[in-house]
Structure 1
Amino acid sequence: MRFSHSPEVWRGFPALVSGVLATDGITPDTAVADRLAPFHDMARARLAESAEGEFPETQAWRRAFSAMGLKPTQYRCASESLLRRFRKEGALPSIHPLIDLCNAVSLAYAVPIAVFDVAHVADFLEVRPATGTETYTTFAGAEEHPEPGEIVFADASGTAHARRWTNRQAATSAIRDTTSSALIVAEALHDSARGDIESVITALADELAAIWSTGAKSAILSADQRAFEY
């Protein structure tokens, strides 16, 4: 398997830093609430000082969405959406221990984190402009075709595993109770992205080891290192 961003993405967003982590041995019957509490506390502390829309991490993604021709308050990056819900409701619903972990770390560091069941990804995953022929499946089971030029996570079969870059993942490779192997992708565009993404990947790797006793292969991708083999 290979994960990468296309040359078009790097040309358009040269400040991008992406942390990628591949892991296996995932099970659905693990209690993680105590492990997540420190990350939730980090998010609460930041939100007590300012709203998520004022975070530099969020503002960088809003600029990127505007550059893609999207209204940033209509199509929010995943971390902004999570932080907004967390600020209003004080908690997030539990979905699956791996998703809960990734959501908690996303809240703490205010960066979008996607997690894919690699059993449902064909050969590779590339973040690239859509051709318009890709197929995206919603969680309600409807099929959509991304607009040409829209940034998607696409595999060898032409399946779009996420639309509008970090806005919305597909049902196709969503984590489920049968998931054992996963690919986790964190992305950032703000000034301190490199250090923050390194912290995110370290936190995720430490928690995976503590919760599932599993190792992980990881990499930090940038304009100088653009692909991850796993």
Structure 2
Amino acid sequence: MHFQHASDLWQDFPQLVPGVILARGITADVSVDRPVAAFGAAAAERLAGTQESGLPEVQAWRRAFAAMSLKPTQYRCASESLLRRFRKEGSLPRIHPLIDLCNAASIAYGIPVGVFDLPLISGDLEVRYADGDEVYETFGGAEEHPDPREVIFADDARRAHARRWTNRQSGYSAVRDTTSDVLIVVEALHESAPADVAKLMDALTAELRTVWGVETTSAVLSRSARRFAC
């Protein structure tokens, strides 16, 4: 399979910097307490000087959501939602070691990180504008259809694995205890995104090797090199 962003999305958001990591051999029987604590400390230090809405990474996504006619305070990118919860509660709920790690890295860097159970994706996965007839499954098992022109992660079976771009993933391809092979997608739009995405991906791949002992394949994509082979 391949992962990519559609050409018209690159045209509308030329500042986009996506990073992709493919990892095989993930299990649920490991501890990520050390990296989660370290990433949490980094996030707390950043939030000591400003609220999440003041971070340049979050501000860039707010501008993108506004450009897509989405109210930024109603529909937040995933990293802003996590940072908001972390600021209020001092921690994030534990779900699965890989999700816990990626959520912690997301708040440390202020950048959305999506994780998909690879075998549950049919064919290629493309971030594109929706036609409106694609199927999105909530975490509660209900089915929805995205709005036309909404940005979604869509596979060849016309299943939407995320709605409103970085706002909410689908329960259908969410990581669970039986998950082994995953696709991790990092996306940023702010001015220093090229350097920050590279740092975030380096941090995640290092922890994947340390915690799970797995080798990874990764790439930072661009408009001229936008396709990643899984």
Q: TM-score range by the shorter chain?
A: over 0.9
Residue of structure 2 equivalent to 1:229 = 229
Cα distance in 2 for partners of 1:143, 1:182 equals: 23
What TM-score do you get using the length of structure 1 for normalisation? 0.99
Equivalent position SS for 1:177: coil
Residue of structure 1 equivalent to 2:201 = 201
Residue of structure 2 equivalent to 1:41 = 41
Deviation per CA, 1:34-72: give whole Å up to 9, x if none: 221111110000000000000000000000000001000
Q: Which amino acid aligns with 2:76?
A: R
Q: Which amino acid aligns with 2:40?
A: H
Residue of structure 2 equivalent to 1:133 = 133
TM-aligned CA deviation for residue 8 of structure 1: 1.2
Equivalences for residues 6-85 of structure 1 within 5 A: 6-85=6-85
Deviation per CA, 1:17-38: give whole Å up to 9, x if none: 0010000110011111122111
Cα distance in 2 for partners of 1:190, 1:229 equals: 26
TM-aligned CA deviation for residue 223 of structure 1: 1.6
Cα distance in 2 for partners of 1:53, 1:117 equals: 30
Deviation per CA, 1:66-107: give whole Å up to 9, x if none: 000100000000000000000000000100000001001001
What TM-score do you get using the length of structure 2 for normalisation? 0.99
Deviation per CA, 1:173-207: give whole Å up to 9, x if none: 00000000000000000000000000011001000
Residue of structure 2 equivalent to 1:189 = 189
Residue of structure 2 equivalent to 1:99 = 99
5+ unaligned residues in a row in structure 1: which ranges?
Answer: none
Cα distance in 2 for partners of 1:156, 1:47 equals: 40
Residue of structure 2 equivalent to 1:108 = 108
Q: Which amino acid aligns with 2:54?
A: E
TM-aligned CA deviation for residue 224 of structure 1: 2.4
Give the percent of matched residue pairs that are identical in Structure 1 and Structure 2.
57
Equivalent position SS for 1:86: helix
Moved over 4 A (4+): none
Cα distance in 2 for partners of 1:142, 1:8 equals: 30
Cα distance in 1 for partners of 2:93, 2:38 equals: 17
Cα distance in 2 for partners of 1:173, 1:167 equals: 15
Equivalent position SS for 2:48: helix
Residue of structure 2 equivalent to 1:164 = 164
CA RMSD after TM alignment: 0.5
Deviation per CA, 1:105-138: give whole Å up to 9, x if none: 0010000000000010001110000000100000
Q: Say yes or no: does 1:173 pair with 2:173.
A: yes
Cα distance in 2 for partners of 1:13, 1:102 equals: 24
How many correspondences in the alignment? 230
Equivalent position SS for 2:183: strand
Q: Which amino acid aligns with 2:193?
A: A
Cα distance in 2 for partners of 1:88, 1:35 equals: 21
